[in-house]
Amino acid sequence: MPSKNCSSSTMFSRRHLALLAVLALSTLIVASANSSQVSTEEAMALLTRPAAAASVARPQNDINYHGIVPSFLAKHAHAYGGINRQEQVEDDSIEAQRERNSHSRIRINVDQYPPKDQIPDVNHPRVKAWVKEIDWSKVPNIPVAQGLADAPRFPNCPPDDQVNPDHCWWSCDGCLEPEDVVSCPTEGHWGLTYDDGPSVASKALVQYLDERSLSATFFIVGSRVLEYPDILKEQVASGHHIAMHTWSHGGLTTLTNEEIVAEIKWTEKIIRDVTGLTMKYVRPPYGDCDNRVREILRQMGYINVIWSQGWDTNDWRLPLQTIKAPEIISTFQNALDNVALVKSRETGALEGPITLEHDLTLQTVDLSKSIISIGMAKGLKPMNLAQCLSDLTPYQVDNKSSEAAGQAPKSDGNSTKSTSGSSSSNSKEVPAVGAPTQAPTPVTDTDIKGKSAATSLQSSLGAITLGGIFAVASYFLAL
């Protein structure tokens, strides 16, 4: 009898030790797999050549937008000649956000960030600290713009004779400052940019681009990152370039100084939390900027990006059913026929266009595939914004918002009015805050194959180790 008790005790101990070993080592393997993060240097190198993307399952229903049509547009679609698509906007409640996030491989505590698609609270302690980093004596004293009566976050332009040219308000008079990026300096280069993601549809676009070794710039909305952090990280890992598009997608001239800071910095924070990267380029929603907005953005380390005149596809109107794909294709083909109009404002030299598209829905993604094919057939070379500008440091390396990044935009009435809608980039004169003096080494085919082999080996070793653990556990359990 004592011998039996001893044997039973030993078997009990072995079984539990085996189970504990399996659980502990499995946890370590999973934790190791989930802890990887793309460094700034790796992201910069990846931009030179995208890696292959995983296959993407196409959603069955193009009409179900899963909340990727911004709430602002859905609620105020009539302001753009559209129809109300409120029924297509996902539940904005915190509970719904938590539920969506619970299915994500990257977990985000939504309580740590502002409510989705709302202007962040300027009284939040973080915002107050960020506001103190700005030298407000350098910010032009330009009044906050009025919004439309039924869409208060879309700027309402006054009559032409009441627009102050000293303010250089792009939305209302087409005014551009020399620092504004609206074209690629090299003829034939094509800055491929997409706004308002990430979204479910972004996955299909990333796959299409990766299959063709193309890289694009995605201007990211912070509120969308709350919903789709995994997709954002996949975009970076695939070698695409990400840039700033604010937290809630409202016209920046309609916001107070503090609200502008909150919109930018909260987006900056959530993207850095997910990817480890601090963005360097910003596109104000609707391109809405004046010299007050420009100076605030500049002090936070950002370079202002618009797009080339005539190269806005207006694809965002597709989900609102106010435009059809053939109309957009026709407009794009007309732009291609007049590509010689994309010139430097300073020298008159031919330059390359920067297009405006959206990775909102599968409709816009499918349309973009046609646009890319047509553009390449005409001899344009698609690339991300950093490649278009020959910028080897496409992200901020040091995030000190109070440090100057280039010269402040002028507000003395000498601003340049845009006639052609294109501008030569002065990005080399507006370096990123803390940008390194040495350019990162580009990724070669050997590097990519080597990293792929190393990743495969690591995965294989992990699988072998896990299999061995279960084999040992099974042996002891059978005793």
Cα 236 to chain center, whole Å?
9
Distance CA(197)–CA(69), nearest Å, equals 9
Helix (H) or strand (E) holding 209: helix 200-211
Distance CA(177)–CA(174), nearest Å, equals 10
Which letter does DSSP use for residue 392 in this model?
A: S
Residue 358 falls in the annotated catalytic set: yes
What phi and psi, each to the nearest 5 degrees, are found at residue 260? -60, -45
The dihedral region occupied by 342, where left means phi > 0, alpha psi between -120 and 50, and beta the remainder, is: beta
Dihedral through CA 386, CA 390, CA 396, CA 398, nearest 10?
A: 170
Which residues have C-beta within 8 Å of that of residue 424, sequence separation ≥ 6?
183, 185, 344, 345, 346, 347, 349, 351
57: helix, strand or coil = coil
8 Å CB contact between 241 and 384:
yes
8 Å CB contact between 391 and 427:
yes
Name the catalytic one among 117, 195, 210, 391.
195
Name the catalytic one among 245, 358, 359, 366.
358
Residue 189 falls in the annotated catalytic set: no
Rounded to 5°, the CA angle 434-437-441 comes to 115
Query: Which residues are annotated as catalytic?
Result: 195, 358
